[in-house]
Amino acid sequence: MSQRFSSSDLLACYRRGIFPMGDARNDPNLFLVDPDMRGIIPLGDFHVPKRLLRKVKQDPFRVTIDQAFTRVMELCAESAKGRESTWINSPILNLYSSLHREGHAHSIECWDGDNLVGGLYGVALGGAFFGESMFSRATDASKIALVHLVAHLLEDGFVLLDAQFHNPHLEQFGLIEIPRQDFKKLLKDALTVEAKFYSNSASSSDGRGASFTGSGAAQRITQIS
């Protein structure tokens, strides 16, 4: 892929339903991916296991939005148990950091005190949110970040949550696989929706960048059940 690949080029790729990846963290090259089968989490059928829902309501972490985007990406890029290598390389970090500065890429962070212990990031475009990666350094931290993400997507009028590939860890939340052509149809419709990430969300009293309380996130999600 050309070294001149820009954030505008990246958004154009997302509008077509394709996205970049790297072979490895230390490999500077990128390639574009257009999977035959696409993993999505239907927002109207999002499911939270009962044990996790109870934990979400207990607010074990302070959850924020867009307060540590670059750090979330860096931690997603680190190796971890069961994920010895990752595809997030320097060009990916730079491109998505640019998207974040432009208001198109967002992160959800989970904090234990001042320690960032979990989170995720992705791209918002029209009524579609493209989940890119997540990490966890504390039990259930990335799962709680996902619950808060979905609560905000529902609140802000999003209609499509792309998970890119099948991931058995996401099946508990309702992840399904659909053929490429079906995904492209859903994406075409979603791009006509005027949703704005974190525009209508009722933040807590914790200050700028705060997410819902755990009970608030759980309540927003259970409204679809």
| pLDDT for the residue numbered 133 | 94
Q: Encode pLDDT of 137-154 as tens digits.
A: 999 999 999 999 999 999
| pLDDT for the residue numbered 203 | 46
| pLDDT for the residue numbered 30 | 85
0.85 surpassed by pTM: yes
- Residue 40: how many CB atoms within 10 A of its CB? 22
| pLDDT for the residue numbered 208 | 47
| pLDDT for the residue numbered 3 | 57
Beta bridge partners of 125: 128
| pLDDT for the residue numbered 206 | 42
Give the contacts of 57 (CB within 8 A, at least 6 positions apart). Answer: 214, 215, 218
- Residue 102: how many CB atoms within 10 A of its CB? 11
What domains are there in the chain, each with its CATH number? 7-222 (3.40.630.70)
Spans of the chain, pLDDT less than 70? 1-3, 24-25, 80-85, 199-208, 224-225
